[in-house]
């Protein structure tokens, strides 16, 4: 699982750091993100009391200690090294989307500074300063927000750190037995159907690859291709390869032969996928080859392949699946037969 980014909310005493933290937690949580909050202090504090069990564990040489209660977990980590402190936070909060830390002014760390009107900035020349919050505040080259503009600051954080960076994988592994030729290469409106699908998804992602066990057939496209990393389970193996080889946490997986797919469906998938292992359309049936998968699916995929269980639906019980219901499945019609091909040609000619 990817480690979350850490953003420091900094400023002088009484500037309003805590109020901003609270406002951002409320705003970002309302958008569906999981936010962790940390309070940084440069002073020494005795958090764990003398003589408690966890205090005794630490004094006996334990690197860290934890107190797990009915409602929460408290960690006690002994370290003075800044990088180690941050590493501990990243590991402890690896299940959240973002860590907001009140305080901590180490140069280069991402930070937003809160400043009272008329006061100087603490982090004016800090390369990590991404925004200033304060009424009538100005700072050359830095985005400035008024104190009450919580949503504006929230949008900045979302756009910079939380909107998922996606890649796409076009599945082209079918044998096309019923059609009698490679369905990815039949022509529609002057180009191959796989080109039509590539043109549809490319504007929404940073990178596209084709998952195929016959890469030589797609050399004319100048698109990266990849074979199944663990072959033998059909589309399930293709999804496994797409996630295993991706440089992004989320991957838009699309079949090579659904040219009726439109931008509306792609945008809906991408708007709903954050925080879910699988985001998938369903009419009467699921549409597993027009869905967004997260790299957190890889262990479950490996387990199914290990047991030669090749149904994509068998992933669902162990994962967080976001189902988007649709009224019409026509948009997902694929080219499996000559009748399908003719139907789609007629549909696109109207």
Q: In the prediction, which pLDDT does 120 show?
A: 86
CB atoms within 10 A of CB 287: 22
- Domain check: are 188 and 335 in the same one? yes
What sign has the CA pseudo-torsion 322, 327, 332, 333?
Answer: positive
In a shared domain, residues 277 and 233: yes
Q: What is the mean pLDDT of residues 20-36?
A: 92
Does residue 194 share a domain with residue 93? no
More confident residue, 89 or 223: 223
CA pair distance 37, 24, nearest whole angstrom: 10
Residues 171 and 251 both lie in one domain: yes
pLDDT at 270 over 90: no
56 has which bridge partners?
Answer: none
CA distance 55 to 51: 6
Residue 108 shares a structural domain with residue 220 = no
Residue 219 has pLDDT above 60, yes or no: yes
Whether 168 has a pLDDT exceeding 90, the answer reads yes
- What is the sign of the dihedral through the CA atoms of 223, 226, 227 and 230? negative
183 shares a domain with 148: no
* pLDDT of 121 over the 50 cut: yes
Mean pLDDT lowest for which of 2-11, 79-88, 196-205? Answer: 79-88
The whole-number pLDDT of residue 73 equals: 85
Domain holding 133: CATH number?
Answer: 3.40.50.300
Neighbour-count burial for 71-86, b at 16+ CB within 10 Å, e otherwise:
eeeeebeeeeeeeeeb
Nearest one of 151, 72, 22 to 9, comparing CA atoms: 22
The single residue listed with the structure tokens 């107190």 is 67
Angle at 77 between CA 75 and CA 79, to 5 degrees: 160
Domain finish residue from 130, 162, 194 = 162
**pLDDT above 90: residue 123:** no
Q: What is the mean pLDDT of residues 126-154?
A: 89
Strands 207-211 and 191-192: unpaired
Mean pLDDT of the chain: 88
CATH number at residue 243: 3.90.550.10
CA distance 139 to 216: 55
* Residue percentage of the chain with pLDDT more than 70: 96
- pLDDT of the residue at 75: 84
Residues 97 and 193 in one domain: no
- 157 with 171, same domain: the answer is no
| 34-83: pLDDT as tens digits | 899 998 877 666 677 788 888 888 888 888 888 888 888 888 887 778 78
Spatial separation of the C-alpha atoms in residues 102 and 100, rounded to whole Å = 7
| 186 and 223 co-located in one domain | yes
279/319 same-domain check: yes
Number of separate domains in the chain: 2
In this predicted structure, what is the pLDDT of residue 21? 95
Q: Please tell me which of 97-106, 131-140, 241-250 the model is most confident about, judged by mean pLDDT.
A: 241-250
Range of the domain at 332: 166-349
How confident is the model at residue 221, as a pLDDT? 92
Residues 28 and 117 in one domain: yes
Last residue of a domain, one of 139, 162, 185: 162
> Which of 53-57, 165-169, 311-315 shows the highest mean pLDDT?
311-315
Res 1 pLDDT > 50: no
Whole-number pLDDT of residue 176: 64
Q: Choose among 257, 279, 250: nearest CA to 210.
A: 257
Which residue has better confidence, 180 or 92?
Answer: 92
Q: List phi, psi (to 5°) of 294.
A: -105, 150
pLDDT attached to residue 4:
80
Last residue of a domain, one of 133, 162, 191: 162
Coil, strand or helix: which one is 241? helix
Query: Does residue 286 register a pLDDT over 70?
Result: yes
How many other C-beta atoms lie within 10 A of the C-beta of residue 90?
A: 15
Residue 124 and residue 214 in one domain: no
Length of the chain: 350
The pair of structure tokens assigned to 299 is 């262990």
Question: Which residues lie across from 112 on neighbouring strands?
Answer: 9, 131
The more confident residue out of 238 and 337 is: 238
> Strand, helix or coil at 27?
helix
Q: Which pTM was predicted?
A: 0.62
């Amino acid at each position: 699982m990817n480690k979350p980014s850490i953003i420091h909310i900094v400023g002088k005493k009484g500037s309003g750091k805590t109020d901003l933290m609270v406002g951002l937690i409320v705003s970002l949580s309302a958008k569906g993100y999981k936010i962790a909050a940390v309070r940084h202090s440069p002073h020494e504090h005795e958090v764990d009391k003398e003589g408690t069990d966890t205090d005794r564990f630490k004094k006996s040489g334990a690197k860290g200690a934890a107190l797990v209660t009915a409602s929460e977990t408290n960690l006690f980590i002994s370290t003075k090294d800044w990088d180690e402190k941050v590493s501990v936070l990243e590991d402890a909060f690896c299940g959240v989307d973002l860590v907001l830390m009140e305080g901590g002014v180490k140069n280069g760390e991402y930070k937003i500074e809160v400043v009272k009107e008329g006061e100087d900035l603490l982090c004016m020349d800090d390369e990590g300063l991404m925004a200033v919050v304060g009424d009538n505040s100005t700072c050359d080259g830095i985005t400035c927000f008024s104190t009450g503009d919580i949503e504006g600051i929230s949008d900045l954080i979302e756009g910079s750190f939380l909107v998922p960076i996606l890649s796409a994988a076009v599945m082209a592994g079918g044998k096309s037995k019923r059609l009698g030729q490679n369905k990815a290469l039949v022509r529609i409106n002057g180009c191959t159907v796989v080109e039509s699908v590539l043109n549809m998804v490319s504007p929404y992602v940073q990178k596209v690859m084709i998952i195929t066990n016959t890469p030589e057939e797609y050399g004319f496209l100048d698109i990266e291709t990849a074979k199944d990393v663990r072959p033998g389970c059909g589309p399930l193996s293709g999804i496994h390869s797409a996630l295993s080889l991706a440089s992004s946490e989320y991957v838009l997986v699309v079949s090579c032969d659904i040219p009726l797919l439109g931008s509306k469906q792609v945008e809906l998938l991408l708007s709903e996928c954050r925080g879910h292992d699988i985001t998938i359309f369903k009419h009467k049936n699921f549409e597993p080859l027009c869905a967004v998968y997260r790299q957190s699916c890889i262990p479950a995929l490996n387990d199914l392949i290990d047991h030669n269980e090749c149904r994509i639906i068998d992933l669902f019980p162990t994962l967080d699946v976001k189902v988007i219901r649709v009224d019409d499945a026509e948009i997902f019609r694929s080219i499996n037969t000559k009748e399908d091909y003719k139907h789609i040609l007629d549909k696109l000619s109207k």
